[in-house]
Amino acid sequence: MPDNFNPQTALHTAIIMDGNGRWALARGLPRAAGHRAGVEAAPAAGVGILTLFAFSSDNWRRPPAEVKALMRLAAWYLETQTPRCVAEGVRVEVIGRRDRLPPPLVAAIAASEAATARGTKLRQRVALDYSGRDAILAAASGTSELSRAGLDERLGPPVDLLIRTGGEHRLSDFLLWESAYAELVFSRAMWPDFGPEDLAAAIREFRGRERRYGAVPEAEVRCSAGWLD
């Protein structure tokens, strides 16, 4: 992580990019066309850490042709967008398994991570062949002393705001540990149609919520206890 990156002040927004296939099919296009448009519409303005759910470990069950197209799209995205990320100070990180990914994609990941390692304006994490449950298991088996702090360190930063596009209302095995106290926003917009204005609206909703982490404000405690007097 860059020396001047402060995870305490950066808003960690995670997005489940859903609706790509339905977006494409509604327009008479192959499902892969929706995935491509979704990548190009990725919003990141005003966010310190952005984690995008690009490919779930369960997505291997999809038709082989679609999986192949997604792997090629991921490699294409990394290869073409890395120069822009370098210029704009974006640090790219990929989370998830790599042993099942095609060699060209693994090479593209390594090249992009190395080229953008000094980025300080945005930490962009891409989840590929990712499972939240598997990530927790791997973190638990890799720590000498099982504790919340140990798992926090191995799994990554906690999520502040989790957005799911496409009208679905589930987490789909995404950042389960990190999202323990995330604020959830579900958008009916398909991912290819989810633009900067949608992200800004989700962040405004997030800013308007009160995050209590299980506690109760002191004023409410005094008010609720008044009947005892």
- Report the phi/psi class of residue 114: left, alpha or beta, with left for phi > 0 and alpha for psi in -120 to 50: alpha
Is 129 among the catalytic positions? Answer: no
For residue 41, the SS3 value is coil
Annotated catalytic residue: which of 59, 134, 173, 193?
A: 59
Q: Judging by beta carbons within 10 Å of its beta carbon (0-12, 13-18, 19+), is residue 171 exposed, middle or buried?
A: middle
Our measurement of the distance from residue 145's CA atom to the centroid of its chain's CA atoms, rounded to an integer in Å, reads: 27
Enumerate residues 6+ apart whose C-beta is below 8 A from 20: 31, 34, 35, 37, 38, 166, 190, 191, 192
For residue 49, the SS3 value is strand
**159: DSSP letter:** P
Annotated catalytic residue: which of 4, 18, 58, 229?
A: 18
Is 59 among the catalytic positions? Answer: yes
Give catalytic residues, as residue numbers: 18, 59
